[in-house]
Structure 1
């Protein structure tokens, strides 16, 4: 899945979920960055590096599996597939948004 397709998938999940009131950066290593800005009236998703309240480092495949519902964000974190840097409470809100 391309970075653009991943960003679109994140956008789709964010649009139907609870408000984050925070910015989340997905650091996908060599594949790039996706930033979910949940501070406005509607969530915005962009590609590229930007400041965030929490940075989640993972492989692009891990993010793909989380947005398609085949991997629980909580399980991914507990098994070391995700590293979090910043506000863990924001990470927990994001897990609720991505969990089916």
Structure 2
């Protein structure tokens, strides 16, 4: 069965990846903060140190999540732009 080419697929894919990139940039810091809180709370045994460890773990986890989320979102935006570029190349070459 032959499948016909549909350039709209590139545009839909690009739109979906771009939306996912926005979501990644927002969710990774939240996940990092929660994971940091959990790790910080479990690394220190008791008392005031536990509270400080929990807060420090949350801050470090949130920062790490933020940085990783930015990297991942940038990668996804590049994928989105590549897809749009492929669709535009196809449009330009089809005209010729």
Q: Structure 1 length normalisation: TM-score?
A: 0.22
Please identify which structure carries the higher strand content.
Answer: 1
Q: Structure 2 length normalisation: TM-score?
A: 0.23
Please identify which structure carries the higher helix content.
Answer: 2
Q: Which has the higher contact order (CA 8 A, sep 6+)?
A: 2
